Amino acid sequence: MALAFGILSLKRIKAEPERLKGRGMALAGIIIPSVAMIVLLVGLFIYLIDLVRSGGPNLFS
């Protein structure tokens, strides 16, 4: 949600720069969730590679 609100806020700030402030906060709302998604995807990718290399989960031991 932060990503969507950051994008919407940045568009509104660009449309009315004399009335609306907070460009830095809008950029932070875009950058932080983007970085978090990248970290999450890298972590998931590493987990899946490890799972495949170890032969999958062993549920019966």
pLDDT above 90 (res 61): no
The set of residues, in sequence order, having a beta carbon less than 8 Å from that of 7 and lying 6+ positions away, is 26, 30
| Span 12-23, average pLDDT | 95
Domain range list for the chain: 2-53
3-state secondary structure of 47: helix
pTM tops 0.75? yes
Q: What is the pLDDT of residues 18-29, one digit of tens each?
A: 999 999 999 999
pLDDT above 80 (res 49): yes
The dihedral formed by the CA atoms of 24, 25, 30 and 36, expressed in degrees to the nearest 10: 110
